[in-house]
Amino acid sequence: MSGIKRRKTRIIKIGNVRIGGNYPVAIQSMAKTKTSCVEETIKQIRELESAGCEIVRVAVKDKDDAKAISRIKSNINIPLVGDIHFDWRMALEAIDSGVDKIRLNPGNIYKRAQVKEVIRAAKLAGIPIRVGLNSGSLQGHKVSAQASPKGTRSQGHKSAADKMVKSAVDYIKVLEGYGFYNIVVSLKASNIFDTIEAYRKMTKFCDYPMHLGVTATGLEFPGLVKSSIAIGSLLLEGIGDTIRISLTDKPQNEVKVAKCLLTSLGLRTFGPEIISCPTCGRCEVALVKIVRDLERQLSAISYQLSSRPIKLAVMGCVVNGPGEAKQADLGIAFGKKEGLFFKKGKAIKKVPADKCVGVLIEEIGKFVT
């Protein structure tokens, strides 16, 4: 498992999920449906649950959205978070409807009297508030969308990261001033430099759990890369208690990327990890198809294996194949039309290429019992 030393943070309870302390880094996503379209929203959240999402957020834009929360909540199994912007009264409505946490944006809900009312209601309901900063909606600040890596800033110009941190610290002071400490923080920018800088700086000011994310990352590939660099760098430093990968894509893919990221860092296990080579001219089997078949068949039993860090190697030829296969729990190094099957570092038998997925699944099945 990972050698990452996680930052000590307060434990915050969101419905039946706890984040912070030594709790696993939780995966969250956001429904992309109109919240008041209840059936559609429930369907999407259930799909997210099946994909492995542990906390889900919905937009609360109006009263209909807020009212829908109670029905949605009674039809799903993971905590439900209400995302509130501009209208503080929607926070009250969402809390009234039974939401498990609310996200407030300090950039557009900042009047003291309004914040005070929301805090009072959240306190009564016993739910946390995420202070959710976003570089695109900082109150009174015009933040450049350009990246601002160290050394490129003119003197005296405050970085987007500094502005987000200041805004978060000021907002948290207001919440704490009213005796409210049930807080989660996020500081999302649309570029990786500001995002990383903001989270790092924020650790100096509080021990509240951090919700990590990069905002508006784009389609699946750029989104995946930006999120992995920023969120991955922070997690490597021990920062981060829950993550949301934002993609202009299906929300299930956000969860898929989050799982890969946490697995790669050794922070979570979600069933077997597949190590496979990219293939090249030396490969004489349909390796991509084999690995896809294996992944598809594994998804049916992964939940039974979720707490076991099992490594599977599926390699295209003898160049790196036997080496990788030996280091995995189970592995196959292919030659021409057949593969040499390895178990716990030992070569066991030769398997025809078209039978290898079946053999791997059968062997993995032995880990379940």
- Interface residues with ligand SF4 (CB under 6 A)? 277-280, 282-283, 315-317, 319-321
How far apart CA 358 and CA 64 sit, in angstroms, is 50
List, in sequence order, every residue forming a beta bridge with 26; answer none if it has no partner: 242
Closest approach, Cβ 34 to ligand SF4, in A, equals 46
Comparing CB distances to ligand SF4, the nearer of 183 and 333 is: 333
Comparing CB distances to ligand SF4, the nearer of 26 and 315 is: 315
| Cβ contacts of 62 within 8 Å, gap of 6 or more | 36, 90
Closest approach, Cβ 331 to ligand SF4, in A, equals 12
CB of 342 closer than 8 Å to CB of 322: yes
Closest approach, Cβ 282 to ligand SF4, in A, equals 4
Q: At residue 23, what is the residue type?
A: Y
CB of 254 closer than 8 Å to CB of 40: no
Comparing CB distances to ligand SF4, the nearer of 271 and 321 is: 321
Closest approach, Cβ 334 to ligand SF4, in A, equals 8
How far apart CA 250 and CA 362 sit, in angstroms, is 32
Other CB atoms within 10 Å distance of the CB of residue 14: 24
Closest approach, Cβ 274 to ligand SF4, in A, equals 14
CA nearest neighbour of 115 among 126, 105, 125, 101: 105
CB of 177 closer than 8 Å to CB of 202: no
Comparing CB distances to ligand SF4, the nearer of 140 and 278 is: 278
Region class of 311: left (phi > 0), else alpha (psi between -120 and 50), else beta: beta
Comparing CB distances to ligand SF4, the nearer of 77 and 320 is: 320
Comparing CB distances to ligand SF4, the nearer of 209 and 331 is: 331
Closest approach, Cβ 328 to ligand SF4, in A, equals 13
Look up residue 7 and give its DSSP letter.
P
Residue nearest to ligand SF4 (CB): 316
3-state secondary structure of 279: coil
Closest approach, Cβ 291 to ligand SF4, in A, equals 11
Comparing CB distances to ligand SF4, the nearer of 34 and 311 is: 311
